[in-house]
Amino acid sequence: MTQTRFSRMRMSITAAAVAVATGAAVLSAVTTAPASAAPAAGTSLAGKTVFLDPGHQGSAAGHNLSQQVVDGRGGKKDCQTTGATAVNGTPEHTINWEVAQLVKAGLESQGARVVLSRPDDTGWGGCVDERAAAASRSGAAIAVSLHADSTTTGTDATKKGFHMIVPTLPIPDATVNAVQSGEGRKASTVMRDAFVRAGFPTANYAGVVDGIQTRPDIAAVNLTKVPAVFIEMGNLSNPADAAALTGKDGQLKYSMAITEGIVNYAKGAAAASTTPSPQNLGAAPAPEATPQAGDGELSAVLPFVQKLLGTSDPAEIGQLLLTDGQDASAQVLNAMLVVLYGLFDGKLPIG
C-alpha cells in the first residue's frame, strides 16, 4: 500500500467523521453494501462553491508584509501579518491550515467545490486584498476566513473563547455593503450558532457581544463581494484554547462546527436569532436542535478516529476495526467502514 493511498484513506476517514458527526449525511453500513460498492457521498452541497481562507501563510520569503494595500475603507493597511503563536509554540498559520483541511474534506464529501486561498502551509498565500479578490471571483456561496486570536505574547488564562468578526456598517463599496449587511451577517450568525451548539464558549474579551465583534479594519470582509464569515476560533494565549486548537481531537471538533455552520447557511437555514441591528447582532438565542453528535458521542468516537489516522499498517487497521471500533458510534463507524471498503477495492484490510 503506497503512502499516497494511506494519505487518501486518512483524509477520507476524517471526511466521513466530519460529515456524519455534523448530521450532514447518513452513509450505509458496509455490511449491507455489495462488494463493488464505492464510498457513499453526500449531496447536500452539490453545486455549491465554498471559499476557505486559512489565515496567514507558511512563509513570507520574497514578499514584503508591510507593503500597503487597500483596506476597503478608503485607506491602506499592511499586506499581511505573520499571525500569532500559541503558548505551546504552534504557529497560527498551521492551526488555520490544519482545520481548513478537515473542513475541506467534510465539505467535499457533501458535494461542494472548495477553493482555498493558499495551496499549502509552507509558502506564500497572498496579501489580504488578493485573497478577498479571489473569494469574490470564486462566486462562492460563502467565504470563510479561519483565524485564531492572541491577547498577549505570554500566557493569559482569563481570556478565552471564539468570536466572529463582522464589519462596521456601512461599507463604502455599495455592492460589498449590500452583501455583508445582509447575507454576510446572516452567515456569521449561523456560524456563531453552530459554535455554540458544539459547546464552544463565546469570547469574554475585546468587546465581543455574544460571540460577535464589530470592527471596521478587516479587509477580508470589507473587500469581499460574496457572504463572508471571519472566525477567531479561540485565544492562543489561553492554555486551554491553545490545547484544543492544536490537538487533533480539538481540531476535529472545530472542523465539525465550521462544517455545520457552512452547511446550514448554504442550505438556506435561517439564523436562530432574530434579524440583527446593523451594529450589534444581539444576544445569542438558545439554538434550535440540529441532528449531530453530542459531546458524549464525539468523545467516544475521537480516540478511535485518531488511532485510525495514526497508523499506516493494514493489519493494525484491521485489528482496530475489530476491537476499538466496536465501541465507536455506529453511525460514524459505518460511514468510515464504507470509505475504507471502497479504498481497499471491496475488501477490508483484515487478515
Radius of gyration of the chain (CA): 20
How many other C-beta atoms can be found within 10 angstroms of the C-beta atom of residue 349?
18
Identify the active-site residue in 92, 98, 232, 260: 232
Name the region of 92 (left: φ>0; alpha: ψ -120 to 50; beta: rest).
alpha
Q: Give the pLDDT score at 15.
A: 59
Residue whose C-alpha cell reads 455583508 in the numeric block: 180
Cα 149 from Cα 103, distance rounded (Å): 19
What ranges make up the beta strands (E) of the chain? Answer: 49-54, 68-70, 76-78, 113-116, 142-149, 163-167, 212-215, 228-235
Q: Please give the span between the terminal C-alpha atoms of the chain, in angstroms, as a whole number.
A: 15
pLDDT score, position 11: 58
- CA dist 44 and 59 (Å) reads 36
In the chain, which residues have pLDDT < 70? 1-42, 269-306, 308-314, 317-318, 321-351
Residue 226 in contact with residue 265, Cβ under 8 Å? no
Looking at residue 268, its pLDDT comes to: 81
CA nearest neighbour of 171 among 206, 131, 132, 114: 132
- Other CB atoms closer than 10 Å to residue 149's CB: what's the count? 26
What type of residue is 24? A
d(CA 92, CA 113): 25
Told to judge if 316 belongs to the known catalytic residues of this protein, a careful annotator would answer no
CA 170 to CA 104: how far, in whole Å?
Answer: 32
pLDDT at position 18: 61
pLDDT of residue 341: 47
Q: Where in the chain is the domain with CATH 3.40.630.40?
A: 49-266
Residue with cell 481562507: 53
- The architecture that CATH gives domain 49-266 is 3-Layer(aba) Sandwich (3.40)
Q: Which amino acid is at 64?
A: N
